[in-house]
Structure 1
Amino acid sequence: MRLSFLGPLFERPGPWATVYFDVAQNDEAGAKRRELSVQDACRTLEGQGADAPTTRAVREALAAVGPAEDPAGRVVFAAGGEVVLSHRLSRPPQRQIACWAPLPRLTPLVELAGQDPVCLVAYIDRTGADFELRGAAGPRDAGQVEGRQWPVHRAATSDWSERHFQLKVENTWDHNAGEIAEALASAYEESGADMIVLVGDPRERPAVRERLPEDLRDVTAETEHGGRAAGSSSAALEEAVERAREQHTRRRLDEALDRFRAGRADNGPGDAVEGVPALVEAAQGHRIDTLLIRPDGADLAKETWVGGEPDQVAVRRTDAQTLSEGGEATPVRADDALLRAAAATAADVLLVPAADGDGTDVPSGGLGALLRWTYEQAPV
């Protein structure tokens, strides 16, 4: 999960009100529960010291949230009397979370908004393609490309002139596949998608995939269901896209954990660290490439100290004051401090499943990271 959309949260000082809000059912009883939940969240914020203007802004924002637009709920971040960011959740919180703290409460967002990758779906035919982006906010148009429109249909005879015409058809198909692949690569880059799904007939999909850059082919899946024509959408297509997204997430996590285990081994490359002190040091140096978070880990709630900037994080108060050149240091949760640092340096974040029955504890304490570079590889 990329956290670049959280940028507005790091452009102003706290303290912050954070509320993860479940919208309940779309009926009369659900409406009453939502009203009571809004009241409860605001009372919690007030009890923790939130100022009246910020609490009022949260109340107004939550009152406008409903199941039609946000079926899984929404998170609201507010400071200084206004809502700074409101984000749709992919799955409802098991319990409402409301807190007033120096930093925004971010770990639940990783759990509730998303490991689900942003998916660029390409609906392909012989003349072009339509692109659709699927993410937490629902599907939206992502552009289209049109290639040559003629000739695109083969002839049925074996006459020499017809065979010559068929060669032109093949050339048109090849040309259009190249144009679609080029436009798809641009749409992928511009949209910030994590993966691609190709929809179309068995000849068109591979022709486009073969012309994609190698790194894009590695994150591309295909499905035999659906097509570009109107009315070709189906439940089977929806299931295939969701299955491709799940497989992509599982593969990325497996690859990251394999690299993490190898990196922390005694004879490994040393590009993996775990535990708060090592992660704090990596955050100070902007070396975190992928932050790994296991929500049941004991280290998430450990106290760290931060200054005003995302990389001003330390294990001890005096160190934080030194980093911030004598400025005020504030105690915060380790996971919030590290997520702020990761987001500010465009690091990726992966949620690791809770420790299983065999005692697996990766990363130790619940926090770990893959590094952009080790000190031996430090840029000069």
Structure 2
Amino acid sequence: MKLSFLEPLYTQRGPFASVYLDTSRDGAIEDPDAAVQLRWRRLREALMAEGADRDSITAVAGTVGGDADVPGTHGRAVFTAHGHLALLDELPAPPARDTAHFGTLPDTMPLIVQHAPGIPYLAVHVHYGGRHSTDAVGTVRIEAEAGLWPLTRVTPGHRVDQEIPVADWTHAAGEVGRELEGHARRIDVETVFVAGDVWARGILVRRLPAALRGRVTTVDGAGESEPGRALMEQCLERLFTGRMAAHDRALLDAFLAERARGGAFAEGLAPAVSELQRGRVKALFLNDHPESPLRLWAGPEPGQLALAEEELRSYGIREISEERADTALARAVVGTRAELVVVPEQELRLSEGVGVLLRYTDPRLP
């Protein structure tokens, strides 16, 4: 996963307020606005206890309640620096727990995890309930969305909504297919899900451009789509659970191949830190351990991280802070233009939850 969406955040200097807040409005809560405000008051107290300045707290408060138009269960990640909003992102699911932190580096790992697996996809729902014949009366309705899962749940992708007379469907399906291919190409979709009436969707699939047709999976039971949420959301959640994006899977396969032959890889916190210091990491692999006690020391620049404070001081670095390991690692990944892959433990358990695929090996080493 490329973390370019975090680059604007890391161009700013801390300290940062990092807030993760459940802002769900799913109908299960009698007064969701009051519930959100109550959660925020608790987090505001936590920020004050950590020494956050008044302007930073005010900046966060200005965002609370700003996503009232997003239905269903979701959350918000808010980052401020020096009293100004630094980054605001909708979360496709509520945070595991509401948290607030004030410190030198932003706490971005929970946000990164919510962006995973980051699968580009196209969902198409073909609505038709009439007679299976082109001389029937009625219309075929096409709903489609090109998006990035799971973010599309709260940040809609490009949508298509058309109604076409049944008599024109055989010809029009080819035009619809070419339009869908254009939307799919813009985000390089890796899979296309087509649901709906078997006859009508079959005509569409057969007339899709070859590049798109080879990525099609037909599905049943797409369910109704809630306004403001992802098209076929419940169906996609079932299909994507436990799945990695193809790009991340290729990086993980490359890591496993290098590990098998003792090549361009490293595993464990200390070796990973060493490689990040030298800017040699192509991809960092992490098991998500929000409860991990592992800590690192960090300086002002992304590559300035170490297991011991003395190491950074020996380089003449004076501004040093102790951070959660994943917080410091995430900044180093962004700053060195590496990629980060969140690896489910059932997929691969890494030593200390960390591994790296290197850009190259050191020719001086055997």
RMSD of aligned Cα (Å): 4.3
Answer yes or no: is 1:371 the counterpart of 2:358.
yes
**Residues of 1 paired with 2:153 and 2:176: CA distance?**
30
**Residues of 1 paired with 2:114 and 2:177: CA distance?**
38
Answer yes or no: is 1:140 the counterpart of 2:157.
yes
Asked whether the 8 Å contact 1:292–1:352 carries over to 2, the reply is yes
3-state SS, counterpart of residue 87 of structure 2: strand
Over 3 Å counting, the alpha-carbon distance change for 1:246 and 1:100 in structure 2 is same
3-state SS, counterpart of residue 63 of structure 2: helix
- Match in the other structure for 1:76: 78
Matched AA of 2:299: G
- Match in the other structure for 2:312: 320
User: TM-score, normalization: structure 2?
Assistant: 0.72
3-state SS, counterpart of residue 64 of structure 2: helix
Matched AA of 2:320: A
Matched AA of 1:223: T
Q: 1:144-190 deviations in whole A, cap 9, x for unaligned? A: 9xxxxxxx999xxxxxxxxxxxxxx9xx999x79966973564125x
Report how many aligned residue pairs link the two structures. 331
**Residues of 2 paired with 1:296 and 1:70: CA distance?**
27
Matched AA of 1:97: T
Matched AA of 1:3: L
Asked whether the 8 Å contact 1:99–1:105 carries over to 2, the reply is yes
**Structure (1 or 2) with the greater helix fraction:** 1
- Match in the other structure for 1:157: none
Matched AA of 1:57: A
User: TM-score, normalization: structure 1?
Assistant: 0.70
Q: 1:111-168 deviations in whole A, cap 9, x for unaligned? A: 33432524244789xxx99763352533332689xxxxxxx999xxxxxxxxxxxxxx
1:35-114 → structure 2 map (5 Å cutoff): 35-66=37-68, 68-69=70-71, 71-114=73-116
**Residues of 2 paired with 1:4 and 1:223: CA distance?**
33
- Match in the other structure for 1:340: 331
- Match in the other structure for 1:162: none
**Residues of 1 paired with 2:324 and 2:82: CA distance?**
21
**Residues of 1 paired with 2:336 and 2:185: CA distance?**
23
Over 3 Å counting, the alpha-carbon distance change for 1:287 and 1:239 in structure 2 is same
- Match in the other structure for 1:223: 218
- Match in the other structure for 2:285: 292
Asked whether the 8 Å contact 1:42–1:55 carries over to 2, the reply is yes
Over 3 Å counting, the alpha-carbon distance change for 1:102 and 1:374 in structure 2 is same
Residue 58 of structure 1: CA displacement?
1.2
Which deviates more, 19-28 or 69-78? 19-28
Percentage identity across paired residues of the two chains: 27
Asked whether the 8 Å contact 2:24–2:71 carries over to 1, the reply is no
- Gaps of at least 5 residues in structure 1 are 145-151, 155-168, 227-234
**Residues of 1 paired with 2:73 and 2:32: CA distance?**
12
Which deviates more, 37-46 or 285-294? 285-294
